[in-house]
Each structure stands twice: as structure tokens, then as C-alpha cells.
Amino acid sequence: MLQSGMDGEDAMAIGTVGVVGAGQMGNGIAHVMALAGYEVLLTDSNPEALAAASGTVARNLDRQLRKGAITDEAKAQALARIRTTPTLAELGPLDMVIEAATEREAVKAAIFEALVPHLAPHTILATNTSSISITRLASRTDRPEKFLGVHFMNPVPLMQLVELIRGIATDDETFEAAHAVVERLGKTAATAQDFPAFIVNRILMPMINEAVYALFEGVGTVESIDACMRLGANHPMGPLELADFIGLDTCLAIMNVLYDGFADTKYRPCPLLAKYVEAGWLGRKTRRGFYDYRGESPVPSR
């Protein structure tokens, strides 16, 4: 078992990190934490996802190696720092635990409630949620003062930003410890207030939703909408292509959080977005979304 990096003189130092969720975000968080020198313990309720995690991290490290961003030694050391376990309770003694499960509040709350009985007194809890209330999630634990949002961007190894979100009870020591982690990762921390979807998704998701409305109302095709935003607004990726990359289920979940949280019709999810999710067309991860990814190159789905 990983040992805590805490000592009496530096009570909020982080040395060991647990990550709950071995999907794209969890893998990415484990990757950057290990590369920065943290000892990482990764868990997932899905045995297949957990078994695939180390291989995914290794492939992503190989990409960085080929680009000259890291050395062979750094890759080997990072992989050696990552362990996996099917047992959530094993993360309890660590210095910090980051939940990176699916963007559903009931799932996240259940993880924290299962974890709480096993936590060491000093353990900081964090959630990678992209939209859900930090204060409300913290209230499901025994340590709201040691709870905060640490929202990484996707893909984690490449994206520079991390949103840090304090709940109403988050204390200064916890926030400062999390800020120090972000700095050690070589990333930039942006402080956001605990309102629905924080900063990035408060701005990004309504734009994506509006692009879906433009498609729904026949204003443009998938190709023309994406081309307009790439070439007319200099975006690196069109909004519908980006929605596929993020996952249409995640986009819909965040729009629902915004709509429920503000009760404002400007955040109403487009019915076409809901229809794609109902069909199971969630984007790249299911190989169908606003584009069809089953062939050699993506083809617009409408």
C-alpha cells in the first residue's frame, strides 16, 4: 500500500494521490501526477477499464517521448509510480483523492459516501466534475473543509488549464495545497466560484448547444457549422466535432446542470442533442455522433 507523504512539519504536503475512475480523464490525471513525481493509486469499478489503464498511460507517454517532451527515464519512472487496485477503500490513507467518474451526481456522491469511512484524517478530497456543485458534493462527506473541485481539461496531458473551485466550506490550507499540486504539474490554475459549470463550461457548452440548435433548425449542415467556427472564428476544432470529442452525454449532462441551476431558458438543451444521446450516438467513444467514425475518415451524420 502507498504510504502518506504527510509529516508533522508540513501537514498539507501532498505525496500520494488516489484517482477514482480509469476512463479518459482518470487515466490522464494519473499520467500527469506520476510524471510530476506523485505516487498514484488508480481504481475503477469496471475491471476492464482498470486492466487497460496502465497500457493507455504507457501509450500516451510514448507519444510524449516521440515528441521529445519527456525522456525514456521519465517515462519509466512515471509508470513505476502508478499502481491499480479494484478496492476503493485502499485509497483511504492517501494524501489526496481525486474523483474522476462519470458526470452524474448520484455516482459521484455514492463514491464519496463509500470512501469516507476509510479516509485518514488529513486526506483531501477533490472532484474533477465539470459542472456539479462542489458545496453539495462536499456535504455528502465528513470533511467539507477539505473538499474542493480540481477540474482538469481534456486531454489532461496536453491541456494547460486546471480550474480550482472552492465549496462554501473549503478552507485556505486545502485550497493552497491543491494550488501547489497544479503548479508542480506545470499547469496553470484558474480560480472559479461554485456556480453551475464554473467558467470553462459555463461559456463553452452554451456555444456547443447553440451549434446543435443551428443544425436542428437547418441553419447549416454539420460541415458548414464546423467550417464557419474553424475558419471564421479561428477555433482549432468546430463545435460539433468538439462535442463528439467531449462526449454528447457529457455535453447534455452539463447543459442540464446549467438549465436546472439557473432556471433560464437560454440554457435549455437542444432536443437534437438529447435525441443523439437517446440513440447512443455519443461521439468518438461510440464511433457515432455528429460524425460517423466507423470508416477511414469521419463522415457527417446529417
Give the annotated binding-site residues. 21-26, 44, 103, 108, 130, 154, 285
Which are the contacts of 127, defined by CB distance < 8 A and separation ≥ 6?
A: 98, 99, 108, 134, 137, 147, 148, 149, 150
Which are the contacts of 73, defined by CB distance < 8 A and separation ≥ 6?
A: none
8 A C-beta contact, residue 20 and residue 43: yes
Q: Just list the catalytic residues.
A: 130, 151, 163, 201
Q: Mark 177-208 as b/e (b = at least 16 C-beta within 10 Å).
A: bbbebbeebebebeebebebbbbbbbebbbeb
Q: Tell whether the torsion through CA atoms of 29, 158, 248 and 293 is positive or negative.
A: negative
